[in-house]
Structure formats: structure tokens, C-alpha cells
Amino acid sequence: MRIAIVGAGAVGAYVGGRLAQAGAQVALMARGDHLQALARHGLRVESPHGDFVLQPWRATDDPAQVGSVDVVFVGVKTWQLPAVLPGLPALVGPDTCVVSLQNGVEAPTQLAHAVGASAVVGGCCWLMSVRVAPGHIRHLGGLEPALVVGELDTRPSARLERLCQALCHAGVSAAVAPDIQVTMWEKFVQVTAFSGVGAVTRAPVGILRSLPETRALLEQVMAEICAVARAQHIVLPAEVIPQAMAQLDRFPPAGTNSTQRDLMAGRPSELEALAGAVVRLGHAVGVPTPLTTFIYHSLLPLEHHARGQLVFPE
């Protein structure tokens, strides 16, 4: 199996590294000092499931050096998608599947515009992994299964069954969702509430879930997202909010969300793909989202500042 990891950062490089360990030809596509380290010294991974160092089949920033593959994992953040979309067709052949690992619910549509809807597969990733240094990844664990994939039209899929078998053989737990749209929205409910309330309060999850006032905020944001989902004809399970809260209850108390960390550090974030998407989609279907809108508008100055669109006075 030939696999390209577009955006071989903390999560993508871990998945690609495990697949390479199991015998797949894996191209890790990255940029800057991370790419240089991967090309010169290989990929170094620390993990509770075993540390390893390996040299990937390819380490490059040029899709033309890779050519068509069996599977493309798109691991960049949502705001980085426009930069990688033009290069994706070079990786896609007649039978290639392109797996979206972005947070939010809008990325598969963006990918379909670049490579065609039939190639695109929805995905949800529950891996917890960080980049320690260029070429060096630390895997921390996560929820099970680590990866959930599914055809966007819910049809049975032999190609995804093969992919999940390959992932599980490589030590990355994976499953095919009966309805990946529902699965993506379930994650959207949790991640958007966690990132938004976490960024506004600057508090870790242990505080957010234990303080009654912030726990109520999380649940209220989730309820707004569920209302938007219903208006979009997404049939979420009745217990989606208790399940999302139960996930947050299992996280390490000091845990923070990546969007929260980016905003607090002055970096561009996935704010638009999370809270911003709730506001946009809610407006499109006539569903009010007052709390999410407040959070989104409260964080916009930080986002615009991180992107150089707004300068704070000295």
C-alpha cells in the first residue's frame, strides 16, 4: 500500500510512521525545518506503544515527487487547506481515497472541489500527539478507536475496510462509521464547545468540567450546535451531549484544546472552522446561536491579530 500524509505533523506523522513500520510505502509531506529533519534524520516517535525511528519512503513538499497513491491522509489544520488543495490531484489516481482528518464539518466539501467527491472520505481522529521538535513526535494516547472513517454517502466500502485492516495491523485502532457525517458532527459538538469555552476562559479542561458555571457553558454551546445539526438534517443521537461531556471528563485535568492553545499563544487557529462555522451554518438555516456567537466574536480580535489583520496599539 502506498500512502501520502499531507501535513505530516503531530498526528499525521504518527499514523504514517506506524503504517511504514508495518510495511507500507509512506510519503511524509511537510515543510520547513520539520521536513529537513525528516529527510536527513528520519522520523522519531515516542509512544506508550513503543518508540521508534524510521526513514520514510519519501519526505518532500512536492506532490509530483510522490505521484498517485492508494490513500492520502490530509492532516493539515483547516485554515491550511487552501494552500495544499492545488497539489492534491497529483496524488490521486482512479482508486485513491482522500481521507479528511480536519476538525469541523466543512473540510470534505473543500477537498471534493479539488479531487472530486468520489475520492473523498470523511474521517475523525482521536489521537493525542504533539511535535516535540523538528522530526520528533510524541504520541500521548487518545480515545478508541483512534481513527474513524466513512464514505460520505454512507455506502458500504471495501476500500475503507481494507484501510482499517491496514491501520489496525499497524497498531492504530480504526473503524468504519455507519454514518460518518453523524460521527463528524458528534466530534464537532465536543471540540467546538471545548475550544471556545477554553479559549475564552483560558482554563484547562479539569477546571471547565468541575466548575458548575463553566460546565453549564459547555453544555449550552453543545445544545446550540445540536440545534444547527438538526436543521441540517443530521440525526445526532439523543445522548450526544452527555457522551461529549463524558469524553471531557476522561481527559487529563491539565488538558487544553489545540485551538485554545493557538489563540493563547498568538498563533492562527481553527476558530473559523469551529465556532465560526456554527455561527455561519446556524445563520444559513435560521437557527440562533447566541452563546457561540458571543464566544466567536470575543475571540475574533485574537485571531485577526495572529493573522496580521489587526494590530493592537502599544
Phi, psi of 214 (to 5 degrees): -80, -30
* Helix/strand/coil percentages in the chain, nearest 5: 50, 20, 30
Note down pLDDT in tens along the chain; length 314 residues. 999 999 999 999 999 999 999 999 999 999 999 999 999 999 999 999 999 999 999 999 999 999 999 999 999 999 999 999 999 999 999 999 999 999 999 999 999 999 999 999 999 999 988 899 999 999 988 888 999 999 999 999 999 999 999 999 999 999 999 999 999 999 999 999 999 999 999 999 999 999 999 999 999 999 999 999 999 999 999 999 999 999 999 988 998 998 999 999 999 999 999 999 999 999 999 999 999 999 999 999 999 999 999 888 98
d(CA 26, CA 42): 12
Query: What sign has the CA pseudo-torsion 19, 23, 29, 30?
Result: positive
Which SS3 state, helix, strand or coil, does residue 174 take? strand
Does residue 178 have a cis peptide bond before it, meaning omega lies within 30 degrees of 0? no
Q: Where are the beta strands (DSSP E) in the chain?
A: 2-6, 25-29, 43-46, 52-54, 58-60, 69-74, 92-100, 120-133, 136-151, 174-176
Cβ-based neighbours of 37, under 8 Å, separated by 6 or more: 133, 134, 135, 136
Beta-carbon count within 10 A of 179 CB: 16
Residues 6+ apart with CB under 8 A from 165: none
All domains of the chain, ordered by start, with CATH? Answer: 2-178 (3.40.50.720), 182-306 (1.10.1040.10)
The grid coordinates of residue 273 equal 472552522
Task: Indicate the SS3 state at residue 131.
Answer: strand
Strand blocks (E) in 18-135: 25-29, 43-46, 52-54, 58-60, 69-74, 92-100, 120-133
pTM for this prediction: 0.93
Rounded to whole angstroms, how far apart are CA atoms 35 and 41? 10
Q: Are 178 and 157 in contact (CB under 8 A)?
A: no
Scan for cell 460521527, then name that residue: 183
Number of alpha carbons in the 13 Å side-chain half-sphere of residue 215: 11
Length of the chain: 314
24-52: burial string, b at 16+ Cβ within 10 Å, e else: bbbbbbbeeebbebbbeebbbbbbeeeee
